């Protein structure tokens, strides 16, 4: 009698406390497609079993919200408790170290190890969060156009120049306006550049762009734009910002589209079965056949007032079943080593999507060390954005290649110098 | 004022009287305290308070930012560097060739902005004046036409840019029309000259209604007797325009010129959404330089952005003063 | 007044249609097409399906491909007009496409599968308003909350703006006091700097005041507009001082003079400022985005832009929501627009 009564009383007290002391966590999120819906469902499940925590998702536009406003808010000491961010290195100083609150930090180290380095300040062993997606860059092709042209899709290691030629043949045979399109992004360009031999860094680890490999790659881009092989609307038609080249590809206006794994989810919706699309392994250069890794991470923010609760949410989300469901429904490549090896049951009927995800997964081991270093470099966006914008000036004739290389180096050096003060 | 006779109108009036009387409970004793002579300061107080805290103080802070460097947000954490930012900004071998400048994008922005202002102001004034003259005639459905020309002013800059992007892009409406007419499609947004031409046209499209109405008001205040007298004297339309309309319209024209110049130099949102400053840097304007240097980049250079904005403000101030001086002297001339 | 009335009836050539009249109407007609056409395009496009939005040449009207339910198939099948080898054209439904071959059936005789090359098909389309752009966006997009926030911000900000700007304009136009010209010049000179330039310092101030994630942080900073003070001051200059003097003789306080005499007389200018204020506040994007991080506080413009992810822009939702955000401001404008000319008429003339 007595123990039961005490238990009941305790439960009542605990429940009341739980209800009274509900912690509200805010998560800043952005959407490319449906992943917000999936995350919300997972969080609802967490809240059902953890009534003392409520998580509110604030969905913001990517460019203005995540890239521009969030860093300003964090710098001013404001901001959410959790956020899905892309600039892992750049914001690493504002991230929460979950390690003291985690019940099993080794699980994190084992499965997220290499990616945690992207999120940590130099020399720290903090665990700020996990990857909502790992991305790999690689080209998509419009298989139907190849079939219509009667030209075989190249197999085995093929160089960028060969791919460009084949794509051009297909384009001419089928009356497609352009052979190729690439996202307007230094990150996208970096993979092929590294394949051409670009080192991106000097011996001391400072960014240095001008070398033979980089010149070779930039010259290829210049020639492709000048000869009409590359769709100009993406690189030239807009400036000062990221522009995706997905619309021309979805519209079957190009044969080859250099982009990455995050497009798969959208393509299953927007292309459907209008044409057959495939992912091909990254084309080769003299140095490698590599793409660029990347991704977004869900991280805790250091300024939060509820670090323990943030850790609990994180621990729920990184469980294998939960993450497997997240990756499976969003069609993102897992940023979890265990799941990557075991394989994800991607929830799609589309053959194109399955093939694509498998090819992307197979590209991961081929990623060049320079690509990893570049992605992990804290100021990589400075490199990417200046490379991209100065190169565009060469396309339109405002600068020569030499001037552009000089300028981008000067821009990067100047920004890094200011950051050091 | 038939609106006031209706029930909601009467209700609104009642609420207004009530609220004002409540405020009077504070204002009137204060007047007894400080006297009538000091009342203007009291009336100015709320406005100046907000102004001071949220506009003047940040502007002063901005000025301080211009003399500091580094990426720290809080002023106390920023190292003072004096005029270093300004020196870097103005470091040019040849001011007419941005490629020789250290901050080449700033000078490209300056050149682009000058070209932009020149054509946009001229076009804007011409079209606004013409429209005002047309609207000044006796025409059917005058209110409707007035609204038509004013409507684009209501649209947010993002909406304006979105609409025109759809019209001008490779597979947009304009090219569809050209192809339909049997012509070749033109890639407007890929050509530096076309892009600049179009942002001038679009900004005129989006803003001319505002200035048209101001000029229309100015036209309507010119006494009819002057025109009638002119008609009696046998002068024709063109002469009446030159000798009666233009001089008496001058004061209004000055208002339009000052406001239009300020708006023109500050042009940013529409252009950014439409071209992003491109192709290359063909439509890269001053405020975009400030935005992209101090805000939309992984390592923002607050000091440089602030220095550029101080330059911008100073130039505008001088330009406005010159305009007002010229306007005043022309008024005297024509009186 | 009567002079103004005379001008309203002025026209070249009393009865006949002069060439300049024809030119004038032509100009106005072109104006309607050029000014309204693009907006009409926007509205029509907001009813198109995502696929229709991507195609070229773009159609004017929202068209979608017709579908038909065929016995034996669970999902509706898309209809095409197919040109067969013998040159005849048949309307067939597509079961699936594999590579360059499409498998089609005649809806009337669904058992026979006809294989057709994809180039021989052309879509059968009909007018279809994709209203799901609006309804789906409502579900995914907390429209009611954002609308409420936008309305609260716009109405409060406009009322505050009207009050404090008219008080300041009253002081600057009806009184002589030390520092009058200096204060006026300072206020006007701030027109020179666009807010996007002092964004960071203003944000710092807001954080220190503690108004982050607070609608007041969006309402107050923009309430003291230099344009508003300028506009109202010019107008109030035309109000005769005798009215105020006689009021003072009767023993009225300055505050009473302000709200009983000056404000009602300044109604046209206040209406103009109200329209501008509504317009600016309704369309404000960057500032609310920075100040408000909690989604339940978002205004319409901020929420609308949440459809722009890192790598895609969901145009169909963006367009639909853009049209919706245009509606209120169009209404306000329609109601208050007749004040504009009367208002601006007496404000800016003297420059």
**Secondary structure, 3-state, C127-195:** ECCCCHHHHHHHHHCCHHHHHHHHHHHHHHHHHHHHHHHHHHHHHHHHCCCCCHHHHHHHHHHHHHCCC
pLDDT at B335 over 70: no
pLDDT at A152 over 70: yes
- Nearest chain C residue to A259 by CA distance is C311
Residues of A in contact with B277 (CB under 8 A): 239-240
3-state secondary structure of A83: strand
**Which of the listed ranges A283-297, C5-19, C178-192 does the model predict with the highest average pLDDT?**
A283-297
Angle at Cα B72 formed by Cα B66 and Cα B77, nearest 5°? 85
Q: Where are the domains of chain B?
A: 2-56, 75-334
Higher pLDDT, residue A187 or B247: A187
Residue B124 confidence (pLDDT): 95
Q: What is the average pLDDT value for chain A, to the nearest integer?
A: 89
pLDDT at B149 over 80: yes
Q: Could C197 and B131 be called an inter-chain contact, meaning their C-beta atoms sit closer than 8 Å? A: no
Across A212-216, A322-326, C347-351, least confident range: C347-351
pLDDT at A194 over 80: yes
| Interval A68-78 mean pLDDT | 85
Higher pLDDT, residue A268 or A188: A188
Higher pLDDT, residue C208 or C334: C208
A174-to-A89, A148, A254, B60, C116 alpha-carbon distances in Å = 44, 7, 10, 62, 18
Model confidence at C306, pLDDT cuts 50, 70, 90, reads low
pLDDT digits 0-9 by tens, C150-174 = 999 999 999 999 999 999 999 998 8
CB B76 within 8 A of CB B256: no
Higher pLDDT, residue B170 or B109: B109
Across C4-18, C244-258, C335-349, least confident range: C4-18
Residue A219 confidence (pLDDT): 96
CB C232 within 8 A of CB C273: yes
- Nearest chain B residue to C8 by CA distance is B138
CB B145 within 8 A of CB B139: yes
CATH class of B75-334: mainly alpha
CA distance C308 to A281: 29
CB A329 within 8 A of CB A38: yes
Pairing verdict, β A53-59 and A23-29: parallel
CA distance B136 to C11: 9
Give the phi and the psi of residue C112 in degrees, each rounded to 5: -90, 125
Percentage of chain B exceeding pLDDT 70: 96
Residue C75 confidence (pLDDT): 76
Q: Fold match between A23-134+294-342 and A136-293+361-419?
A: yes
Model confidence at A256, pLDDT cuts 50, 70, 90, reads very high
Among residues A251, A274, A271, A256, which one has the least CA distance to residue A170? A256
Residue C349 confidence (pLDDT): 40
Fold observed for domain C67-123: SH3 type barrels. (2.30.30)
Q: Which helix (H) or strand (E) holds C336?
A: helix C315-336
The second-level CATH assignment, the architecture, of C141-347 is Orthogonal Bundle (1.10)
Model confidence at B332, pLDDT cuts 50, 70, 90, reads low
Give the phi and the psi of residue C224 in degrees, each rounded to 5: -95, 75
Model confidence at C285, pLDDT cuts 50, 70, 90, reads confident
- What is the signed CA dihedral for B184, B185, B189, B193, rounded to 10 degrees? 20
- Chain C interface, mutation test: which of B9, B37, B54, most C Cβ atoms within 10 Å? B54
CA distance B262 to B312: 10
pLDDT at B5 over 60: yes
**Which of the listed ranges A64-78, A238-252, B3-17, B180-194 does the model predict with the highest average pLDDT?**
B180-194
pLDDT digits 0-9 by tens, A305-347 = 999 999 999 999 999 999 999 998 988 888 888 887 787 888 8
pLDDT digits 0-9 by tens, A362-411 = 888 889 999 988 988 889 999 999 999 999 999 999 999 999 999 999 99
Pairing verdict, β A82-85 and A23-29: parallel
What distance in Å separates residue A104's CA from the closest CA in chain C?
Answer: 32
Residue A2 confidence (pLDDT): 57
Residue C76 confidence (pLDDT): 78
Residues paired with A139 in a beta bridge: A258
Model confidence at C130, pLDDT cuts 50, 70, 90, reads confident
| Interval C229-240 mean pLDDT | 84
CATH of domain A23-134+294-342: 3.40.190.10
| Interval A105-129 mean pLDDT | 88
- What is the signed CA dihedral for C222, C227, C232, C233, rounded to 10 degrees? 120
pLDDT at A97 over 50: yes
Does a cis peptide bond (omega within 30 degrees of 0) precede residue B288?
no
Cβ-Cβ contacts under 8 Å for A354 (sequence gap 6 or more): A346, A348
Both ends of chain B: CA-CA distance in Å?
36
Q: Could C311 and A60 be called an inter-chain contact, meaning their C-beta atoms sit closer than 8 Å? A: no
pLDDT digits 0-9 by tens, C60-108 = 777 777 778 888 777 778 888 888 888 888 888 887 776 677 888 888 8
CATH class of A136-293+361-419: alpha beta
Among residues A59, B192, B106, which one has the least CA distance to residue C305? A59
pLDDT digits 0-9 by tens, B191-223 = 889 999 999 999 999 999 889 888 887 887 777
Q: Where are the domains of chain C?
A: 11-43, 67-123, 141-347
Residue A43 confidence (pLDDT): 96
Chain C contact present for B50, CB below 8 A: yes
| Interval B270-275 mean pLDDT | 86
Pairing verdict, β C89-98 and C101-106: antiparallel
Helix axes B57-66, C199-209, angle to 10 degrees: 120
Residues of B in contact with C172 (CB under 8 A): 40, 44
Residue C346 confidence (pLDDT): 53
B160-to-B157, B204, B207, B270 alpha-carbon distances in Å = 5, 11, 11, 7
Of B36, B214, B305, the CB nearest to C254: B36
Among residues B57, B308, B51, A69, which one has the least CA distance to residue C201? B57
Residue B3 confidence (pLDDT): 54
Q: Could B24 and C255 be called an inter-chain contact, meaning their C-beta atoms sit closer than 8 Å? A: yes
Q: What's the complex ipTM? A: 0.83
Check residue C258 and report its DSSP letter: I
Q: Could B280 and A238 be called an inter-chain contact, meaning their C-beta atoms sit closer than 8 Å? A: no
pLDDT at B87 over 70: yes
């Amino acid at each position: 009698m007595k123990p039961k009564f005490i238990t009941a009383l305790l439960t009542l007290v605990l429940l009341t406390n739980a209800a009274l002391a509900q912690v509200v966590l805010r998560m800043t999120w952005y959407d490319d497609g449906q992943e917000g819906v999936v995350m919300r469902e997972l969080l609802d499940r967490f809240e059902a079993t953890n009534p003392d925590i409520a998580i509110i998702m604030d969905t913001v536009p990517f460019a203005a919200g995540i890239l521009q406003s969030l860093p300003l808010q964090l710098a001013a000491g404001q901001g959410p408790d959790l956020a899905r961010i892309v600039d892992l290195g750049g914001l690493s100083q504002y991230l929460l170290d979950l390690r003291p609150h985690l019940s099993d930090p080794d699980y994190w180290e084992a499965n997220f190890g290499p990616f945690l380095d992207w999120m940590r300040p130099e020399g720290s062993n903090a665990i700020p969060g996990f990857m909502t997606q790992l991305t790999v860059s690689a080209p998509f092709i419009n298989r139907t156009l190849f079939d219509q042209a009667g030209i075989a899709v190249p197999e085995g290691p093929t160089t960028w120049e060969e791919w460009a030629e084949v794509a051009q043949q297909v384009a001419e045979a089928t009356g497609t306006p352009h052979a190729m399109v690439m996202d307007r992004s230094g990150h996208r360009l970096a993979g092929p550049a590294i394949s051409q031999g670009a080192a991106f860094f000097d011996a001391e680890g400072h960014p240095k762009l001008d070398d033979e490999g980089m010149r070779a790659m930039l010259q290829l881009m210049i020639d492709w734009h000048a000869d009409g092989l590359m769709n100009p609307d993406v690189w030239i038609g807009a400036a000062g910002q990221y522009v995706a080249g997905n619309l021309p590809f979805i519209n079957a206006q190009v044969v080859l589209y250099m982009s990455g794994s995050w497009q798969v989810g959208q393509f299953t919706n927007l292309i459907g079965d209008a044409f057959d699309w495939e992912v091909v392994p990254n084309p080769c250069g003299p140095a490698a056949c590599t793409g660029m890794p990347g991704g977004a991470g869900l991280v805790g923010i250091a300024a939060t007032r509820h670090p323990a609760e943030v850790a609990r949410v994180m621990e729920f989300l990184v469980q294998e079943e939960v993450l497997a469901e997240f990756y499976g429904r969003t069609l993102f490549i897992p940023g979890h080593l265990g799941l990557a090896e075991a394989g994800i049951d991607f929830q799609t009927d589309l053959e194109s999507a399955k093939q694509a995800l498998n090819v992307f997964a197979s590209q991961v081991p081929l990623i060049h060390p320079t690509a990893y270093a570049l992605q992990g470099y804290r100021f990589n966006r400075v490199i990417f954005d200046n490379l991209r914008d100065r190169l565009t000036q060469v396309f339109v004739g405002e600068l020569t290649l030499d001037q552009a290389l000089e300028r981008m180096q000067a821009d990067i050096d100047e920004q890094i110098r200011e950051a050091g003060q | 004022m038939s609106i006031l006779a209706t029930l909601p109108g009467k209700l609104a009036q009642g609420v207004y009287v009530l609220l004002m009387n409540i405020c009077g409970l504070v204002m009137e004793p204060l007047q007894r305290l400080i006297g009538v002579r000091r009342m203007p300061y009291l009336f100015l107080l709320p406005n100046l308070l907000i102004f001071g805290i949220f506009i003047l103080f940040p502007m002063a802070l901005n000025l301080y930012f211009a003399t500091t460097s580094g990426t720290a947000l809080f002023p106390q954490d920023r190292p003072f560097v004096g005029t270093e930012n300004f020196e870097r900004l103005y470091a040019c071998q040849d001011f007419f060739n941005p490629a020789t400048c250290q901050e080449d994008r700033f000078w490209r922005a300056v050149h682009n902005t000058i070209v932009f202002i020149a054509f946009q102001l001229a076009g804007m004034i011409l079209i606004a004046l013409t429209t005002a003259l047309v609207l000044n005639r006796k025409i059917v459905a005058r209110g409707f036409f007035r609204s038509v020309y004013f409507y684009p002013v209501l649209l947010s800059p993002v909406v304006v840019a979105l609409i025109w992007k759809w019209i001008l892009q490779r597979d947009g409406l304009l090219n569809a029309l050209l192809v339909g007419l049997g012509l070749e499609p033109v890639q407007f947004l890929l050509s530096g000259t076309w892009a600049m031409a179009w942002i001038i046209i679009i900004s005129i499209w989006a803003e001319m209604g505002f200035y048209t109405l101001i000029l229309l008001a100015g036209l309507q205040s010119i006494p009819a007797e002057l025109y009638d007298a002119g008609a009696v004297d046998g002068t024709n339309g063109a002469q009446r325009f030159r000798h009666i309309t233009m001089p008496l319209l001058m004061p209004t024209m000055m208002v339009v010129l000052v406001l239009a110049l300020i708006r023109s130099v500050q042009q940013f949102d529409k252009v950014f959404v439409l071209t992003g400053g491109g192709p290359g840097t063909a439509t890269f304007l001053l405020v975009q330089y400030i935005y992209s240097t101090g805000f939309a980049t992984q390592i923002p250079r607050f000091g440089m952005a602030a220095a550029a904005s101080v330059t911008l403000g100073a130039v505008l101030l001088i330009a406005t003063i010159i305009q007002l001086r010229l306007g005043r002297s022309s008024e005297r001339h024509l009186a | 007044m009567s002079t103004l009335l005379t001008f309203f009836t002025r026209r070249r050539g009393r009865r006949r249609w002069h060439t300049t009249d024809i030119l004038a109407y032509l100009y106005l007609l072109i104006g309607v097409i050029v000014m309204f056409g693009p907006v009409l395009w926007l509205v029509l496009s907001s009813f198109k399906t995502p696929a229709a939005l991507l195609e070229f040449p773009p159609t004017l009207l929202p068209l979608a491909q017709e579908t038909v339910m065929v016995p034996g198939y669970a999902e509706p099948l898309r209809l095409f007009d197919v040109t067969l080898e013998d040159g005849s054209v048949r309307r067939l439904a597509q079961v699936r496409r594999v590579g360059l071959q499409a498998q089609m059936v005649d809806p009337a005789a669904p058992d026979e599968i006809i294989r057709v090359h994809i180039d021989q098909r052309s879509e059968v389309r009909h007018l279809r308003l994709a209203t799901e752009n609006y309804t789906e966006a409502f579900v995914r997009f907390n429209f009611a909350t954002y609308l409420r926030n936008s309305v609260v911000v716009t109405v409060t900000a406009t009322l505050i703006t009207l009050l404090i700007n008219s008080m300041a304009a009253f002081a600057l136009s009806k009184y002589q006091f030390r520092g009058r010209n200096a204060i006026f010049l300072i206020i006007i000179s701030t027109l020179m700097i666009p807010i996007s330039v002092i964004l960071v310092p203003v944000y710092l101030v807001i954080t220190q005041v503690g108004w982050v994630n607070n609608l007041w942080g969006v309402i107050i900073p923009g309430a003291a507009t230099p344009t508003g003070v300028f506009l109202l001051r010019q107008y109030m200059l035309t109000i005769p001082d005798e009215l105020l003097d006689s009021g003072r003789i009767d023993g009225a306080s300055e505050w009473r003079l302000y709200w009983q005499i000056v404000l009602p007389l300044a109604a046209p200018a206040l209406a103009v400022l109200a329209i501008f204020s509504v317009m600016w506040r309704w369309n404000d994007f960057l500032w609310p985005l920075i100040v408000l991080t909690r989604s339940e506080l978002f205004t319409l413009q901020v929420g609308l832009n949440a459809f722009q992810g890192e790598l895609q822009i969901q145009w169909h939702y963006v367009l639909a929501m853009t049209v919706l955000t245009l509606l209120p401001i169009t209404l306000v404008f329609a109601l208050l627009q007749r004040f504009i000319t009367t208002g601006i008429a007496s404000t800016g003339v003297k420059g």
